[in-house]
A and B are shown apart, each in its own frame.
Chain A
Amino acid sequence: MTILLEHPIVHEPRLQATTTSPARTVLPQRPGPDAPPDQPRATRGLSRNDVLPLVGAALSSLCTTALLFGRLTPLSGDLGFVAAFFAVFLLTYAAIVSITEDRPAVVDRVMAVLLCAAAVVAFVALASVVIFVILRGVKALTHTNFYVKDLSETGPLDPLDKGGISHAIVGTLIMTAISLAITVPLGVACSVYLNETSGKVTNFVRTVVTAMTALPSILAGLFIFATWVLILGYERSGLAASIAMSIMMLPIIIRSADVVLRLVPGNLREAAAAMGASQWRTVWHVVLPTARSGLTTSVILGVARGVGETAPILLTAGFTSTMNLDPINGPMVSLPLAAFELVRSPQPSQVARGFATAAVLMVLVLILFSIARILGGRPAGQLSKRQAAATVSQSATDLARIEGSRRAQTNDIPQEPPR
């Protein structure tokens, strides 16, 4: 048996030979016949060797950094402290690990820490966004009037127990409803078209839809502003904003719905075809129900994206501080636009309202998103408990019906031989 000494990724302490140069092959030192039997290495869970170096390195580098920042050097700042702590931590950790391990193992441990740090940075960033926005808005969020009043009789100088953003909440709901009414039928039908037909036109539609997912959202707004408002002469309204939102959401929905429909197992389609179902019956009774949860997810994700978009609405909806329930006439405001306009005011109470609006928007998106996760965690065809129960009871009903009709038939023709 020969072992290559210079292999970069081999890590097996028992096979180490003396590091004489140049590299040559040596026989591994086999344990003698009276050696104790090999113990299998524990590969699962954390051993003391994994945890203690981490804790030790963390403590020592915390102390070192505290010394650096408080006493030895004129360093300052939270961000700098964290960065310096992390750098010192990596060095200390590498040093501690290198006492017992060889170089590949040290690199492995350090890289694991780095990868973990990336995830921690992402988590901390998201947490700081959520917490900061809610903290800044909490003064306005605790007043009930914030949810039920509009800003029509409230000036920028009024305290937070007056006025609210009900007009923006209602505006967002109306705009979302209109764009859903446009995008869901059109989007699902278009993705069915992409899946059920093939040919040059289909490929072309798919390419164009893919291309349009790259459309910067502001350009959707600019398009509607230039056509709907300037050329056709309608005023800026909730309807115009909804159309702009739909243009932005359509490619997103179509693309993800296309993927979902493609995941519907082919044997289901073939089974339906083999039983003599026509194409539209196959789609209506087999393909779409199978992909229902995935389709719902793609629609909800599209909505979550559309609800939070400010840029197209900025150009098409106008801004108002009064409640407007009519999407065709007069400006209508949505939550992101209201947040954007409110924080541009120099008044602290307006800024607090802006942050509270952003927090409400974030909660709304979070709710949509959770619904999407709950519905969409499953691949096509896999049912939730409730759906499974519904299917079972449906099958039982069908069975009873079929049995019933067969009994009726056998009563009519009693001489049919038993199988």
Chain B
Amino acid sequence: MATITPPTITPNRPTTPADGLRELTSRRGNGDRIFLGGVTTSGVLVLLVMMAVGAFLALEASDALQSKGWSFLTTSEWQPDRNQFGIAAVLVGTVLIAFVAVVVAVPIAMGTALFITDVAPTWLRSWLIALVDLMAAVPSVVYGLWGLFFLQGKIIGLSRWLNAWFGWVPFLDVARADPNSPLSSQTVYTASTFIAGVVVAMMVMPISCVVMREVFSQVPAGEREGAYALGSTRWGMIRVVALPFGRGGIIGGTMLGLGRALGETIAVLLIISPRFDINFHILESGSNSVSSLIAARTFESTGFGRSALMAAGLALFAITLVVNFTASWFVARSRSGASSEA
């Protein structure tokens, strides 16, 4: 039996030196050049505007920062006209408000996210997703009004109860309150860090919830069903599959909410009564935050005082930047984060 060898066909082509590799780059037409020029211009324009904001803040703030140096971070008073100013008190207030907000919001956000992805019946899911998105869209001034006129009256009882039972915890103590006397005034509990934090939590919760829901919904179906097939209950599946898978998203969502809470202005401005000493007692009346300080003082300050406000704003911006970048780092680094957006 003869073996058939496939004939080797050599291309009958002249191998002249001119016959090199084909040019693969295409020449752009005029339309493309104009198009690319246009979008590049807009991209660079956006870049310039965005950098101008940061650079301008830094430039304006340099006056105040040079005059105070490091003591800007440690002084708690705010009297720029007497050259006595610093962000120790307002920064502590900002962080405490954001902290309360995150502590209140994150369990609710996580519970809602897990409820949407794993527990709720299918017909309810789209409604719940819309509900959470809607919560994120409600303007902050509306939350502020609600907090000032509605929540404050309701939550004072909780403040008093916390103070009565947990007053021994250092930051839940209220100096001028006597929880055991029924006649004691309620005003020592109003306008506190705690109430402002709870109102800001309303804005933090949907932001965290969206990120967490996104991550939990990406749990691979194989692992989910594998857990069920091994006889796991639903909570068992959540505990051993969904939560470890979504850890990056949980942390990222929390930090994203923290970033929002740090920058919140109007709701905080409506609720707190400003004070300028470092106050760790979150239930006590009076608090402060950087953004509400800027909102309240911009018009009444002149030259140097404004520079001091810019410096405070710069510090706030730096903190939110760090928090947000850490958040996206966590989300991107987690197993689930490759395709999620946060």
Contact = CB atoms under 8 A, between A and B. Distances in A.
Interface stretch (B130-138, B168-176, B273-281): B130-138
B202 A129 contact: yes
Interface string A356-380: 0010011001101100010000000
B46 A250 contact: yes
A366 B134 contact: yes
Interface in B231-249: 231-240
B262 A339 contact: no
Interface in B132-150: 132-135, 137-146, 148-150
A336 B57 CA distance: 26
A204 B50 CA distance: 12
Nearest to B53: A223
Contacts of B239: 9
Interface stretch (B10-18, B29-37, B81-89): B29-37
B286 interface: no
Contacts of A190: 39, 42-43, 45-46
Contacts of A366: 134, 137
Contacts of B67: none
Among A219, A310, A315, A358, which residue has the most Cβ atoms of chain B within 10 A?
A: A219
B interface secondary structure, majority = helix
A42 to B, nearest CB: 15
Contacts of A77: 157
A143 interface: no
A14 to B, nearest CB: 11
Interface stretch (A28-36, A117-125, A411-419): A117-125
A366 B323 CA distance: 30
Contact of A114 (B43, B47, B111, B134): B111
A108 B231 CA distance: 13
Nearest to A12: B231
Sorting the interface of chain B by its residue count into under 10, 10 to 19, 20 to 34 or 35 or more gives: 35 or more
10 contacts: A11-B231, A79-B158, A107-B233, A118-B115, A132-B149, A208-B50, A215-B53, A222-B294, A314-B295, A340-B144
Interface of A: 7-12, 76-80, 104-105, 107-108, 111-112, 114-119, 121-123, 125-126, 128-130, 132-133, 136, 185-187, 189-190, 192-194, 196-197, 201-202, 204-205, 208-220, 222-223, 225-227, 230, 247, 250-251, 254, 259, 278-281, 283, 301, 304-305, 307-311, 314-315, 336, 339-340, 343, 351, 354-355, 358, 361-362, 365-366, 368-369, 373
Interface of B: 28-29, 31-32, 34-36, 38-40, 42-47, 49-53, 56-57, 60, 107-112, 114-116, 118-120, 128, 130-135, 137-146, 148-150, 154-155, 157-158, 161, 202, 205, 209, 227, 230-240, 259, 262-266, 270, 291, 294-295, 298-299, 306, 309-310, 313, 316-317, 320-321, 323-325, 328, 341
